[in-house]
Structure 1
Amino acid sequence: MQHHARHRMPAVAAAATFALLPTAALADAPASPSKITFTVGMNEDVDSLNPFVGVQSNFYELMGVTYDQLMDYSARDGTPTPRLAESWSSSPDGLTWTYKIRKGVKWSDGVPLTAADAAYTFNRIIHGETEQVNFASYTSLMTEASAPDPQTLVIKVSKPGSIMNRLIVPILPEHIWKDIDEKSTATFKNEENVVGSGPFILVKRAVGQYVEFRANKNYWGGAPKVDSLVFRVFNNADAEVQALKNGEIDFANNLSSTLFDTLKGVAGITPIHADAGSFNDIGFNTGAATVDGKPIGDGHPALKDPAVRRAVSRAIDRKALVDKVIGGYGRPGSTAIPPTWANYHYEPAQDELQAFDVARANADLDAAGYKRGPDGVRRMPDGTRPLKLRFFARQEQAESQQVGQYVQGWLKQLGIEVDLKVMAEAKLTEVIGNGEFDMFEWGWGVEPDPDFQLSTFTCGQRSTGKPGEYSAGLSDSFYCNKDYDALYQQQKSELSDVRRAAEVKQMQKLLYDDAAYVVTYYYDTLQAYHSDRFTGLVAMPQPGGPLLFQPSAQWSYRTVAPVTAAAKPASASGSGGALLWGAGAVVVVAAGGFLLIRRRRTGTADERE
């Protein structure tokens, strides 16, 4: 599901190439020798181009170059920085927020972009159903959006909330989307004559092959330095890396540790070992139900018991997974907000850790009444149903399947039989939404602000619909805890960063103690690119973040440029600077620079308090 949700991270690969250099053929994708084309590879096709429907990380990458948001997460550290909204402020009671929309911005069809488009976008989400799946965490406090003039957006909220400083929502053209009604939203493809305001304009999608964009030469932030952008689909990670080595592509993303290591020392290629701010997990069916509490699916009842889930957690050797599955490129996991976002990350105390301990896990199951039968497999406390669990690994990623094999072996030591199945991510999303699973392996890319990630564990993100027509929400664990939901609403309306951080950590402790997930590891993104061909790529966060497929940001597409005889490749780390995307220019500000600080203070209520 993006999951990363959602932002769920599928196995994503990226690549870049000059069109004038030898390249592998892209069926029907035009390449002119007079143009510079930046090609980004994906080892899985994008799930949708509809901003209300797509959920996987490559979807967000494409949306980020098609549409602008009111603000960005800064490249420096993930704090809010202006984009379409040049500044914003709140009323003294925090119930009215005013955003000043940049002048002179036009949609790709030439129609002016105004505050009315932003008001339309937010109102559509506020009152929609399909529209809320991706963006309810941003709009749940909102009651109304209006545009008293072309440059002023006013949003009313039911109670104060810091999320109003971080509205990472694509603004859509009202003159296009007003003709797409609520009933059609879920099936609308958004693949032809797409009108956006971002740095690139959609040209064509060839399903399973590529998605092609051309540069928006009239982009308010300055025209991109490449003429076209192509996201190319690779069905084989080895083939993608070979293409990189052969000079057919220039950038590869989310490589396996084995393939990444083969690129070390290759002339002209710079490997990047990046802190992704992401995690992989083992999810449980904690009791599948719809948002109104109606049970659905066929999950094993044992997994409704936190004692069983904690025992499984103690049977997972997280360090072994880091060493053996991802080649040491990561850290053992614990809680749902990665340590990349240190202000919000909760790390359990030593006496709270569900550390690898098979003996302790067996003792805990014995104490909870799950006794072994004559076949060695444990039974429910009433002695009936055996603990035989289905575990779904993702077809698209070998690492997911490896994790499944390790888990199968470890749980056998607990007297739990695991039926390991491999399934395509699209199908797995459907299966999870219907509650027809016991365990699965996936992962999330986490935004700098924790609200979205925390929202995926709320009761209101469970499935909707009726038998045979269930639609998955953002919750893939179906975790539902009233105390957790109350804390979620509390942190959402908290304007003090100190108090909010404490509440966010308390929520993570609840999730950890209840073992809603087993966060297996915080993985590093392994990337490599032809630094002899392209320069200007910017890490996010800095230093050491990814160059592409960043946490809810797409900085490098606006700055990537061909290497010329007069230009040397920029540092891949991008450390020591922060990007501001202003009218007509990209401004790089030294760390701690006055301009960046001043713009933040005039832009957010938090900074003024």
Structure 2
Amino acid sequence: MGTIETVTRRAARDGTHGGVTRPLVLALVGIGAIACPACAPRSQAEPGVLLIEEKEQTSSFIRNFNPLVEVGDLRWPALHSMYEPMFIYNPLDGAYVPWLGTAYAWSDDHRRLRVDLRRGVRWSDGAPFTARDVVFTFGLIERFDALDLRGVGEFVERVTAVDDHTVDITFRRVFLPGFYYLAQQPIVPEHRWKDVADPVSWANPHPVATGPFTEVTQFETQAYRVERNPYYWQLPARPQVKAIRFLAFPGNEQAAFALVSGEVDWAGSFVPAIERIFVAEDREHHRYWFPPIDGGVLLYANTTRAPYDDARVRKALSLAIDRDLVVEVGMYGYTRPADATGLNDAHARFRDAAAVSAGDWVAHDPARAEALLD
């Protein structure tokens, strides 16, 4: 079961809603992921500042906004609100949304990919974004294996600039799925990174990026604040808030309590009995949403070792699990048992009725489980 995205909308001082709904958050950055709480009570909340729970639950923050290393890649602001990719993949419909790139085309032999880059984009220090930045980024991850988190070096031979707004990506072999990884590679500025001696260990404490929120105006171990990029290419339409403030929570319990107490506007935490302890407190403003793209809860058997190398044992184990009980007790009824395909609702169009019917081993049937083991 996936996390629950929850929203608390606050009454702002100007009489309008100072908080947000899901559509507004999508309008802010165009992508999901959020986190940041407020220290002050609602009555003291600063207008225009979004208070969200940090998705990266931790007791203290480390000032690292390097999007090319794992710690930065996992931290939402570095990966999404600061450094942007050429295209954003939408798992709901399989489409690639143009971002720093506007269009792409394959050569006839599918060994070369040409990408047109968005014109008029500037880095947060005012410098222009060009094809040189894309070439530099891929050259950087080629030189430093630890930066190649998406493994593009395995299939990319070279990246070259055709002109200031066009790049060619040459493949070592035909590998169309590689576009998925290339499209989502965050791009860094050449003029800022070219003199960094060790980009693997560099924490990038003062990021220069193309995203909507780039200005780190406060950073402490327990809280930090990121304000709008004054040169963001989607201004003035978005973002519609001026800053995001993040607070450290060591675990889900503390984060959920902050949400229920009204200390944050947005959270991605598991909240038990959410209708009763959260929504019922203010049905007009307290909302939640289940992302349909999250995967299921799975048990993986080591099929190379007995007894799990026997399909009958694996089916018996499945038949012995009461999925309805797990959903009701362990997940508060927020989801439903999976069928044999394991597909979530976002991929329902791929669900085959015959495969669902054939997978009767997902039903709860202890007697049949025992029979398989006899």
Same fold (TM over 0.5): yes
Query: Are the aligned partners of 1:70 and 1:82 in contact in 2 as well (CA < 8 Å)?
Result: yes
Q: In the alignment, is residue 331 of structure 1 matched against residue 336 of structure 2?
A: yes
Aligned residue among 297, 318, 322 for 1:317: 322
Query: Are the aligned partners of 2:38 and 2:246 in contact in 1 as well (CA < 8 Å)?
Result: no
| Paired residue secondary structure (1:332) | coil
Query: Are the aligned partners of 2:88 and 2:97 in contact in 1 as well (CA < 8 Å)?
Result: yes
Aligned residue among 196, 204, 223 for 1:210: 223
Query: 1:64 — aligned with what?
Result: 80
Q: In the alignment, is residue 230 of structure 1 matched against residue 245 of structure 2?
A: yes
Is the alpha carbon distance of 1:255 and 1:349 closer, same or farther for their aligned partners in structure 2, counting shifts above 3 Å? closer
Query: 2:273 — aligned with what?
Result: 258
Aligned residue among 353, 369, 373 for 1:361: 369
| Cα distance in 1 between the residues matched to 2:164 and 2:140 | 18
Query: 1:155 — aligned with what?
Result: 169
Aligned residue among 290, 299, 315 for 1:274: 290
Q: Which moved more, 1:306-315 or 1:271-280?
A: 306-315
| Paired residue secondary structure (1:256) | coil
| Cα distance in 2 between the residues matched to 1:147 and 1:57 | 26
Q: CA RMSD in A?
A: 3.8
After superposition, residues 110-129 of structure 1 pair within 5 angstroms as 110-126=126-142, 128-129=144-145
Cα-to-partner distance string for 1:561-601 (whole Å, 9 max, x where unaligned): xxxxxxxxxxxxxxxxxxxxxxxxxxxxxxxxxxxxxxxxx
Q: Which moved more, 1:311-320 or 1:242-251?
A: 242-251
Query: Are the aligned partners of 1:126 and 1:140 in contact in 2 as well (CA < 8 Å)?
Result: no
| Cα distance in 2 between the residues matched to 1:117 and 1:306 | 53
Query: 2:54 — aligned with what?
Result: 42
| Cα distance in 2 between the residues matched to 1:13 and 1:54 | 26
> Aligned-pair distance for 1:276?
3.0
Number of residues paired by the alignment? 335
| Cα distance in 1 between the residues matched to 2:73 and 2:321 | 26
Query: 1:578 — aligned with what?
Result: none
| Cα distance in 2 between the residues matched to 1:24 and 1:92 | 54
Q: In the alignment, is residue 349 of structure 1 matched against residue 356 of structure 2?
A: yes
| Cα distance in 2 between the residues matched to 1:69 and 1:306 | 44
Query: 1:305 — aligned with what?
Result: 309
| Cα distance in 2 between the residues matched to 1:363 and 1:113 | 66
> Aligned-pair distance for 1:219?
0.2
Is the alpha carbon distance of 1:202 and 1:218 closer, same or farther for their aligned partners in structure 2, counting shifts above 3 Å? closer
| Paired residue secondary structure (1:175) | helix
Is the alpha carbon distance of 1:264 and 1:247 closer, same or farther for their aligned partners in structure 2, counting shifts above 3 Å? closer
Query: Are the aligned partners of 1:13 and 1:42 in contact in 2 as well (CA < 8 Å)?
Result: no
Query: Are the aligned partners of 2:51 and 2:264 in contact in 1 as well (CA < 8 Å)?
Result: yes
Query: 2:156 — aligned with what?
Result: 142
> Aligned-pair distance for 1:220?
0.7
Query: 1:189 — aligned with what?
Result: 203
| Cα distance in 2 between the residues matched to 1:256 and 1:206 | 27
TM-score (normalised: structure 1) = 0.48
Query: 1:199 — aligned with what?
Result: 212
| Cα distance in 2 between the residues matched to 1:60 and 1:127 | 25
| Cα distance in 2 between the residues matched to 1:331 and 1:55 | 33
| Cα distance in 1 between the residues matched to 2:111 and 2:128 | 29
Cα-to-partner distance string for 1:449-502 (whole Å, 9 max, x where unaligned): xxxxxxxxxxxxxxxxxxxxxxxxxxxxxxxxxxxxxxxxxxxxxxxxxxxxxx
| Cα distance in 2 between the residues matched to 1:336 and 1:179 | 48
| Paired residue secondary structure (1:330) | coil
> Aligned-pair distance for 1:10?
7.7
Query: 2:109 — aligned with what?
Result: 93
Is the alpha carbon distance of 1:320 and 1:245 closer, same or farther for their aligned partners in structure 2, counting shifts above 3 Å? closer
| Cα distance in 2 between the residues matched to 1:56 and 1:339 | 30
Whichever residue aligns with residue 96 of structure 2, its letter is P
Query: Are the aligned partners of 1:15 and 1:251 in contact in 2 as well (CA < 8 Å)?
Result: yes
| Paired residue secondary structure (1:341) | helix
Q: In the alignment, is residue 105 of structure 1 matched against residue 121 of structure 2?
A: yes
| Paired residue secondary structure (1:130) | helix
Whichever residue aligns with residue 234 of structure 1, its letter is F
Q: In the alignment, is residue 172 of structure 1 matched against residue 188 of structure 2?
A: yes
Cα-to-partner distance string for 1:305-340 (whole Å, 9 max, x where unaligned): 253444433332222222222222212224454231
| Cα distance in 2 between the residues matched to 1:317 and 1:61 | 40
Is the alpha carbon distance of 1:81 and 1:12 closer, same or farther for their aligned partners in structure 2, counting shifts above 3 Å? closer
Is the alpha carbon distance of 1:165 and 1:286 closer, same or farther for their aligned partners in structure 2, counting shifts above 3 Å? closer
TM-score (normalised: structure 2) = 0.73
| Paired residue secondary structure (2:274) | helix
| Cα distance in 1 between the residues matched to 2:178 and 2:349 | 16
Name the % identity: 25
> Aligned-pair distance for 1:126?
4.8
Q: In the alignment, is residue 79 of structure 1 matched against residue 95 of structure 2?
A: yes
What stretches of structure 1 of length at least 5 have no aligned partner?
Answer: 1-7, 288-299, 367-609
Query: 1:404 — aligned with what?
Result: none
| Cα distance in 2 between the residues matched to 1:78 and 1:18 | 37
